[in-house]
Amino acid sequence: MFRTSDIVLIGVMVAAAAMTYTIKRDAGEQLAAVRKLQAQIRTEEETIDLLKADWSLLTQPARLQRLVERYQDQLGLEPANPHQFARIDSLPERPLTIEDITAADAAGKLIDPTRTGAVE
């Protein structure tokens, strides 16, 4: 009736059909996951747009001016005077951090050991 080769070929065909079905099912699940992520991304983008619009409304100069005038007694805000601003050369030099030191060392720049506190 059936030869051995026929039985083997039928087995291979059944295995191929099962494999095809499995791959198709996995691809469908992956497609559903991608669509779900795309929907989440769209929702996040819409939320970001809404928050940007809210921020734009909240930071309008006219609105802020009205708030300052309304709460002047509680806030005690005054316009800045020119003498309140410092010039760049009057500011103290920023101290070196470990990141500055390692970055300069990696770049091969010569570091003054008296500034880093590494004097022996």
Question: Taking the model in full, what pTM does it have?
Answer: 0.49
- Give the range of the structural domain holding residue 42, as residue numbers without chain letter: 1-73
Instruction: Determine the residue type at 52.
Output: K
Task: Report if residue 99 sits inside a domain.
Answer: no
For residue 120, is pLDDT > 90?
A: no
Strands (E), 1-120: none
Task: Give the list of residues 6+ apart from residue 68 with CB closer than 8 angstroms, or none.
Answer: 75, 77
User: What is the number of structural domains in the chain?
Assistant: 1
Q: Report which of residues 45 and 104 the model is more confident about.
A: 45
Task: Report which DSSP code applies to 74.
Answer: H
CA atoms of 96 and 114, how far apart (whole Å)? 11
Residue 77 near residue 68 (C-beta atoms within 8 A): yes
Convert the pLDDT of each residue in 27-68 to its tens digit.
999 999 999 999 999 999 999 999 999 999 999 999 999 998
Task: Give the list of residues 6+ apart from residue 101 with CB closer than 8 angstroms, or none.
Answer: 111, 116
> pLDDT band at residue 83, thresholds of 50, 70 and 90?
confident
> pLDDT band at residue 94, thresholds of 50, 70 and 90?
confident
Dihedrals φ, ψ of 23, to 5°?
-65, -40
Can you give the pLDDT at residue 113?
58
Task: Report if residue 82 sits inside a domain.
Answer: no
**What is the average pLDDT score of the chain?**
86
Task: Report if residue 47 sits inside a domain.
Answer: yes
Task: Report if residue 8 sits inside a domain.
Answer: yes
- Return the structure tokens found at 118: 């590494």
Task: Report if residue 21 sits inside a domain.
Answer: yes
Can you give the pLDDT at residue 62?
95
